Structure 1
Amino acid sequence: MSVIRFFTLAVFALFTFHLTAQDFDLFEKKKFVSDDGELPYRILLPKDFDSSKKYPLLLFLHGAGERGNDNESQLKHGAELFLRDSIRQKYPAIVVFPQCATNSSWARIGFSNTGGQNQFVFYERAKPTAEMVLLEGLLDELSKTFKISRNQRYVGGLSMGGFGTFELVNRNPKLFAAAFPICGGANPKIAPRLKKLDWWVFHGDADDIVPPKYSSQMVDALKKVNARVTYNLYPEVKHNSWDYAFKEPELLPWLFSKAR
């Protein structure tokens, strides 16, 4: 490779990285502070944001691997989708990615590993985690700060965030119009509290971190209470089912078409 060609490629690579970093900076760094603690979050406002207009709110909950307090890691999965110009133009919305603290969780869940297989215990009723309390406080603050459409509030999440999606709706059954948990799960007994909104559930059938049975049993429970639910169980896909969910061309059209 010539020196000139190498230099050109190197500059292009650096320029591409700069643009990517710059794009993610469009998610403004914020922190919700209350008597219960602090919750870092990133917020993306619509293009040409008008404070006098009402906008949908989309909340996305990350997985265990993105916990911390850097207020950056939570953008690892999913944030890129909402930064696309075509998406921002077609679906102007307020998009929020909060970050769960290390060694905490969005939902209180029991865990064990038996014979090399992960087992989870989802409680029907449990005291909320500190992060869940902060998350609900953040939602309340966002509603006071921005004109958010009460009929167009959405929540999704992956893995630990999938657990949190079910838990947040369970605790606030009248708040959201639609939810999309990815490789998550919950206690099927809470299904009657989840039936008023639309669901799209995703999982990989080869998931060895969160077994797919936890999504499947929730889908079955939702169907039994006549909830509107769609289920994508991806063949031979492991824990990264979010890669497939985010590529679903109908995910965002489906989501933003829902209203309470």
Structure 2
Amino acid sequence: MLRMGWVAVSMMALVSGAWAQTGRVDERTLPYAPFPSDLKAMDDVIKAPLSDDFVAKTYTAPDGRTVPYRLLAPATVAAQPTLAKLPLVVVLHGSGSIGQDNAAQMTGFAKAWALPDVRQRFPAYVVVPQVDTRSADYAPGVDGLLASHPGASLPAVLALVDDLVGRLPVDTTRIYVVGFSMGASAALDALVAKPGRFAAAVVFSAVPPDRTQAAGVAAVPTLQVHGDADMENPYAPDHAWAEAVAAAGGAPVFIRYQGMEHRLPPDMILAPGWREWLFAQQLRVAVPRP
């Protein structure tokens, strides 16, 4: 119960904005010791059949690249077609889901958005594109730590986002990007590539862009989650990115899981806290529709 209380307190503070202060990293440390109930909940989501509500579609980008994707509409739209504009959540997958079957990208992390409780509590359009080649590539940065840069498929994904914004009743002040591993890295690269497009980002186990680029996106709220035992996407560059964002006047949130390797923390896949934080973020000025 102590661990559950610690997680609950941390998430409550996260949502309320407690401790948030520009110019510093809002950092919390959580023990990686998932309860059997956490692991079962995650396993249930992973094994659950893909919801028919995640409709399969295909987009052809201006560069000619084909992007298969799944689109989940808010449950409220069917009941209230004239509903006010709603957020758009862009979910970016890891390298293990690269392909064109329009299925492999639908991991538990993506499928969780269609669960009844999540869908009702967080009404939004949720798009899960699949890329046929890497969306983020890695190389040493100026500081010697690993850094990401946009992969060949990221421009097509960003063009898909613009296309959806032009066709759906999306609130352009509340477009969010989330991701795991390569997808988390691409999410941070997307902030740099499309200034002012995204209202916030939540990234799990990212390799961030070169720290010299942090100043350009310091105003974008970011929540970074990383295990300090991650040997695949090292912990140090991600934490250095948070420090660089803070040094540029931002207020990043960084959650460190002690002893966690390269994975999503099971106690967060269904947790409302980070989603509540995400949905509370909003651009001050709406970006014109493409």
CA spacing shift, 1:247–1:236, aligned 2, 3 Å:
farther
CA spacing shift, 1:189–1:213, aligned 2, 3 Å:
same
- What is the aligned counterpart of 2:157 among 107, 123, 135? 135
1:222 Cα deviation from its structure 2 partner: 1.0
CA spacing shift, 1:244–1:216, aligned 2, 3 Å:
farther
Which residue type is aligned with residue 148 of structure 2?
A: F
Report the TM-score when normalising by structure 1. 0.82
1:28 Cα deviation from its structure 2 partner: 0.4
Distance in 2 between the 1:254 and 1:137 partners?
26
1:49-101 deviations in whole A, cap 9, x for unaligned? 15543110000100000111110111113123211211211211000110111
Q: Which residue of 2 aligns with 1:77?
A: 108
| 2:204–2:264 CA contact under 8 A, matched in 1 | yes
Report the TM-score when normalising by structure 2. 0.74
SS at match of 1:231: strand
| 1:194–1:222 CA contact under 8 A, matched in 2 | yes
Structure 1 unaligned segments of length 5 or more: list them.
1-15, 112-118
Distance in 2 between the 1:210 and 1:185 partners?
6
**Identical amino acids, percent of aligned pairs:** 26
Residue 93 of structure 1 pairs with residue 124 of structure 2: yes
Structure 2 unaligned segments of length 5 or more: list them.
1-43, 284-290
Q: Equivalent residues in 2 for 1:10-29 (5 A)?
A: 20-21=48-49, 23-29=50-56
Residue 212 of structure 1 pairs with residue 235 of structure 2: yes
SS at match of 1:175: coil
Residue 62 of structure 1 pairs with residue 88 of structure 2: no
Q: Which residue of 2 aligns with 1:106?
A: 135
SS at match of 2:201: strand
Which residue type is aligned with residue 208 of structure 1?
A: M
SS at match of 1:58: strand
Q: How many residues align?
A: 230
SS at match of 2:230: coil
Distance in 1 between the 2:173 and 2:119 partners?
19
1:145-188 deviations in whole A, cap 9, x for unaligned? 10110111100111101110110000112011110111012211
SS at match of 1:75: coil
Q: Which residue of 1 aligns with 2:279?
A: 256
Distance in 2 between the 1:185 and 1:248 partners?
23
CA spacing shift, 1:105–1:242, aligned 2, 3 Å:
farther
SS at match of 1:130: coil
SS at match of 1:73: coil
CA spacing shift, 1:244–1:258, aligned 2, 3 Å:
same
Q: Which residue of 1 aligns with 2:214?
A: 191
| 2:207–2:234 CA contact under 8 A, matched in 1 | no
Residue 46 of structure 1 pairs with residue 74 of structure 2: yes
SS at match of 2:164: helix
| 2:175–2:197 CA contact under 8 A, matched in 1 | yes
1:225 Cα deviation from its structure 2 partner: 1.2
Residue 237 of structure 1 pairs with residue 260 of structure 2: yes
1:35 Cα deviation from its structure 2 partner: 4.0
Distance in 2 between the 1:175 and 1:217 partners?
24
- What root-mean-square deviation, in Å, do the aligned CA atoms of Structure 1 and Structure 2 show? 2.1
1:143 Cα deviation from its structure 2 partner: 0.9
Q: Which residue of 2 aligns with 1:182?
A: 204
Following TM superposition, the consecutive aligned residue runs of length 4 or more in structure 1 with deviations greater than 2 angstroms are 50-53, 107-111, 119-123, 241-249
Which residue type is aligned with residue 184 of structure 1?
A: A
| 2:61–2:160 CA contact under 8 A, matched in 1 | no
Larger Rg: 1
